[in-house]
Every structure is written in C-alpha cells, then in structure tokens.
Structure 1
Amino acid sequence: MLRNIRPETLKFPQIYSTFRARDKTSDDVVDYLIQELPKEYFGQAVNLLLNEYLPEETLHACRNLVSNSEAIREVRDDWQKKLSANISIACFKSDGSDLVGVSILGIINKDDDDESESWKTEELSDVVRLLNHISIQHNVFELYNIDKFLTIHGLAVSYDYRKRGVACELLKASVDVAKILNLKIISSTFTTFGAQKTAEKSGYKETFSITFDELQENFPSFDFTKLSTEFVKIFDVEI
C-alpha cells in the first residue's frame, strides 16, 4: 500500500549529491547530480526502466515478461504509482539536458498486505511470489527488529551513460534518502552479477543468497538454465 511517507516540510526536489564523470560522446569531464525525481520526468523515467531495466533484470527476463503486453502495462502503472510517493531519485547532467539514470525507491512495512495475488498477469504474480519466497528466508523485520525499511524497486542507467559510476552514485544516495525518512535499514534484491558487484562497490553488505538452481526447482515457470550468474543476493545497509 502506498502511504504518504515524505515529510511535508521537506523541500522538493532534494539534491543528494554531485559528481564528475565523462560526458556522453566525449572524454570531457562534466558535472552530474543525484536528486529526487520531479513529476514532469515520470514518463521518461518509466520508459527508461521499461527499455533498459526490464529486458535485463533476471527475474523478469527469465519469466519472459516482456512478451506479454498486459504485463508490461501492469509494470508501467505500478512504477508510476510508486514514483508518486516522491522519494525516488534520478541522475541528471547538471545542465539539465539529460535524464541519465533512475532508481525507484519504496518503503516496505511489516503490516503490508501480500500483493502476490493482486496482479492480473501470471508473469508478474510469479515474480512477486518468488521474491516473497526469498523474503521469508531473509526476514528483514526480524533480523533488525524493525517495522519498515527502504528498498529499491528498480534501477536503470541509460546505455549512453554507462561505465561512469552512475549506478553506484544512485545506490549511495539511497542512504541519504533513508536518513531523511528516518529509516534504519536499506534492503534490496540484486539478481545480476553486475548489479551485485555495484552494490558491493557502493558499500552495501551481502546478507543472503540463494542459487538460481534452487529457485528453478520451486518455480518451474521461470527458465534460469542459461544464466551466467549463479545466485540471487540480498544486500543491506544499516544506517
């Protein structure tokens, strides 16, 4: 359930960090910033996730979600709803010319309803059930004695701006978001080797792993047989 979780007195959009990296088409070093995502960029951010995150993220790809137009519509609508909480963050060139990357953030509450049966499409229901299966084995609420935590629902960086440390900067900025929201834990699932290495580089701590082989046995509707990544991993940050 989406709740009003952002302090009303907090200036919007918050700028969390700035950094310097190569420009899009040259070796010139330019300025980038990480800030909260304004509403006028919601559509562009969702399209970035649909085009450059959804086809690469292991669970969605191995359930062949992109082949179902109704499932894609469900994902789009869900991301739009999550963005409306106004805590998600994005990377922009400091001159405002390009949306470089986006990270959809959300708060998971201990008393949240199970949404695995609320999806219209089997593909999304299966993805959520698999994630619930993992979260039962790694119970963040019991592990840290908390009733809510920050999570990352999806992170994408434009192909034109990869290998510039943008994903790391987005992950690091999530810690600042958690602090502002008075949350003590960030916990998120990372399903690709590259994402897992980025989490490590950003100071996130691996706290749980499970093999895709084991998941394949329990969730035969997925096809994990051709993966180069061996594990699904959860990484946490204690604030």
Structure 2
Amino acid sequence: MVWTRPPQSPVPTVWHTFKAKDSDCDRTVVYRVQDLTEDRYDDMIQHFLDHFIEEEPISVSKGISKDESARDEMIKLWRAALKEQMTLVCYKEGSDEIIGANIVVVRDSEEAYDDDAILSGDQGDLRAIINHVLSQFDPLKHYGVDQRLIAYGLTVNKRYRGRGVATEILKARVPMCKAFGIKLASHPFSAPGSQGAARKAGYRTDYEITYDELASMGPKYTLPGIQSKSLKVMSY
C-alpha cells in the first residue's frame, strides 16, 4: 500500500523551533518549521523556482530554468509531492514569508515511482542518474526497513543564508518521522551546501559518486559544467 499521512494528524503541525539572526540585522528572532498548508502551494512552487532550480547543481547543469518543458515537469513533480502533505516550511515568527523549505514524501519499498511517468528528456536523464545511484546503494535493504523519507528539494531564501536554516529544517524531520513511525530518512544530496547542512544535522554519508565518475558512464550521465564534486546518499 502507498503510504499516506494519518488523517488525524493536524496540518499544520509545528515540528521544530529555533533562534537565529534576522535577515537584515543582528537581532535574534524565533523561527518555526511546520507543515506547509494547501493555501501556500503556489507560493512554494514560486519559492523553488526562485531559489532552487537557479542554484541546485544538477538543475543548473541541465538548464532547467531556461527550458520551459523541463521546468513544467519539475513543477508537476513538486505539486504531486506537495499534495502528500509532508513538505516542511520555515517561517519567522510574526511573518508569513517563506524562509526555507524541504519538499519531502514517504516511499514504500513496494511502491512504483509514479514520478517516472512525468519525467522525459533531460528530466529522464536525472531519473537515470538517481536510479543508478540507488542501484549501487539501496537504503531500504541496507537499513532493513520498508519505507523511507525522501526529498525533491531543500532550499533557503537567499536573504536568510548563513543562519543554519537548512540544518534546522533537516532537524525538524526527526520529530515528524517519529510521529509517523518512519524510521529512515535517506536520499541523494547533490550540492556541498545541502551536504554540509545534512552532516551538521546528524546525517551520515552512505554512498558517494563523483560527477566525473558519472560522466565516464556515458552522455546520459554527463552533467556539463557542473560545479560540485559529487553526489552523496546521506541517511538519518
């Protein structure tokens, strides 16, 4: 059966709070990480268009922001994920500005990856890369579980970088997963920033492959001009 969020679980639930500097001064403010509500879905899509595909290494290499068809496919993938009601969003107390977010879903071992059906062209190449990585290291088999939390993007508003927001968002996954009985969060991290945030949040690196090693496998696995060194499967 496909995993679904228990209907008795209130949305939004605040999973984590932390203190950090404000965006434009040294004043310390309180931030909260909670479930994204349906009324903010369009705003979240725009947040990822503004702060994710313009910077995430694989998206930049594939030129997704400049390819209308690829961009539309990413939006379809994100919208499908948002409907699963697991996406985490960070707000500053007293504000509804999206500070950062993590689009996450839960996948069961017996579940077909329905998102394959909407990925084609360069997007299909991205799926081929992920499938190759997971063929080399299967988190479900390694940890002996039948489901895991995976992500379709972690990003922070440019105005709030350098405050540890990404790390705090990843920390919020822990109480959320415990509440739903999910024992493992594990998926590829593509950029040094997200890899560093995951490490600080307690994630371990289970598998790593350099982008040069991927490129040696052929054109389908080549990411022209990519600035990052490697792709890492990291788990908590």
* TM exceeding 0.5: yes
- Could you tell me how far apart the structure 2 residues matched to 1:115 and 1:129 are? 14
Q: Find the counterpart in structure 2 of residue 150 from structure 1.
A: 149
Q: Find the counterpart in structure 1 of residue 41 from structure 2.
A: 42
Say whether residues 1:194 and 2:193 are aligned partners: yes
AA at the equivalent of 2:141: E
**Matched residue SS, 2:185:** strand
AA at the equivalent of 1:154: G
The within-5 A match list for 1:70-219 is 70-115=69-114, 118-119=117-118, 121-219=120-218
Percent same amino acid at aligned positions?
26
Q: Which runs of 4+ in 1 moved over 6 A?
A: none
Assess if the C-alpha contact under 8 Å between 2:3 and 2:108 holds in 1. no
- Could you tell me how far apart the structure 2 residues matched to 1:192 and 1:62 are? 12
Structure 1 residue runs of 5 or longer lacking an equivalent are none
- 1:32-80 per-residue CA deviation (whole Å, 9 max, x = no partner) reads 1110011111111111111211122222222222221011111112211
- CA apart distance, 1:6: 1.0
Stretch deviating more after TM superposition (196-205 or 3-12): 3-12
- CA apart distance, 1:227: 3.8
- Could you tell me how far apart the structure 2 residues matched to 1:108 and 1:4 are? 7
Assess if the C-alpha contact under 8 Å between 1:208 and 1:233 holds in 2. yes
Change (3 A) 1:228 1:68: closer
- 1:72-128 per-residue CA deviation (whole Å, 9 max, x = no partner) reads 111112211111111111000111331111110111221222557523530111101
- Could you tell me how far apart the structure 1 residues matched to 2:85 and 2:127 are? 23
- Could you tell me how far apart the structure 1 residues matched to 2:119 and 2:129 are? 16
- Could you tell me how far apart the structure 2 residues matched to 1:229 and 1:60 are? 12
- CA apart distance, 1:223: 4.8
Q: Find the counterpart in structure 1 of residue 13 from structure 2.
A: 14
Stretch deviating more after TM superposition (19-28 or 106-115): 106-115
- Could you tell me how far apart the structure 2 residues matched to 1:190 and 1:181 are? 23
Please report the TM-score for the alignment, with normalisation by the length of structure 2: 0.93
- Could you tell me how far apart the structure 2 residues matched to 1:100 and 1:117 are? 30
Count the aligned residue pairs. 236
- Could you tell me how far apart the structure 1 residues matched to 2:226 and 2:76 are? 29
- Could you tell me how far apart the structure 2 residues matched to 1:236 and 1:26 are? 34
**Matched residue SS, 1:209:** strand
- Could you tell me how far apart the structure 2 residues matched to 1:120 and 1:20 are? 39
AA at the equivalent of 1:128: R
Change (3 A) 1:219 1:66: farther
**Matched residue SS, 1:118:** helix
- CA apart distance, 1:224: 3.8
Assess if the C-alpha contact under 8 Å between 1:70 and 1:121 holds in 2. no
